[in-house]
């Protein structure tokens, strides 16, 4: 069984960032449909990039939660879920996407470390991998969170 404080943190962070990934993917799909339907609509193009950027941030944050959970909680379920996520979403590729977005100011000044090319991401596959990772993190920590809540309610 995992420890209470760490389990609670993982549970809430995983719940939040897994949902953020899902919401951003939904928003991106909506924006892309509008962009395809109205190719001359520059606002639709900008909107699709905005939500894609936020989706990358949410994916990165979920990845960080999984990394912290695997270190802090050391459960086979979390390690396995993280490995499955990494098979679909290579950490180096996700980090490259995250870094180029986080340090956009360096790239604008020509000081970025990476050579930027076209972005090629299987959004549906990455989104599904994130959904599974979030669900695994939640499933691994929920029993401890519920047990802790029960103990706290007894103390009151």
Give the tens place of pLDDT for each residue, 38-91.
989 899 889 998 999 999 999 999 999 999 999 888 889 999 999 999 999 988
- Helix 42-72 with 4-37: angle, nearest 10 deg: 160
What is the pLDDT at residue 100?
Answer: 78
Count the residues in the chain.
Answer: 156
With cut-offs at 50, 70 and 90, classify the pLDDT of residue 16: very high
CA distance 61 to 95: 11
pLDDT at 154: 67
The domain tally of the chain equals: 1
2, 144 Cβ separation under 8 angstroms: yes
Domain enclosing residue 49, as ranges: 4-155
pLDDT (0 to 100) of residue 59? 97
This prediction has a pTM of 0.85
- Token digits of residue 6: 């760490």
Look over the chain and give the mean of its residue pLDDT values, rounded to a whole number: 87
Could you give the C-alpha distances from 72 to 25, 66, 77, in angstroms and in order? 29, 10, 13
């Amino acid at each position: 069984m995992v420890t209470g404080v760490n389990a609670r943190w993982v549970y809430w962070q995983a719940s939040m960032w897994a949902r953020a990934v899902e919401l951003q993917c939904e928003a991106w799909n909506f924006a892309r449909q509008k962009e395809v339907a109205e190719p001359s609509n520059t606002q639709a193009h900008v909107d699709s990039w905005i939500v894609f950027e936020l989706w990358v941030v949410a994916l990165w944050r979920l990845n960080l939660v999984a990394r912290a959970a695997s270190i802090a909680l050391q459960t086979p379920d979390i390690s396995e879920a993280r490995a499955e996520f990494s098979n679909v979403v290579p950490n180096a590729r996700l980090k490259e996407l995250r870094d180029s977005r986080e340090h956009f100011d360096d790239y604008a000044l020509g000081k970025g470390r990476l050579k930027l090319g076209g972005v090629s991401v299987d959004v549906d596959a990455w989104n599904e991998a994130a959904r599974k990772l979030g669900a695994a993190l939640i499933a691994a920590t929920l029993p401890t969170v519920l047990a802790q809540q029960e103990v706290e309610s007894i103390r009151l």
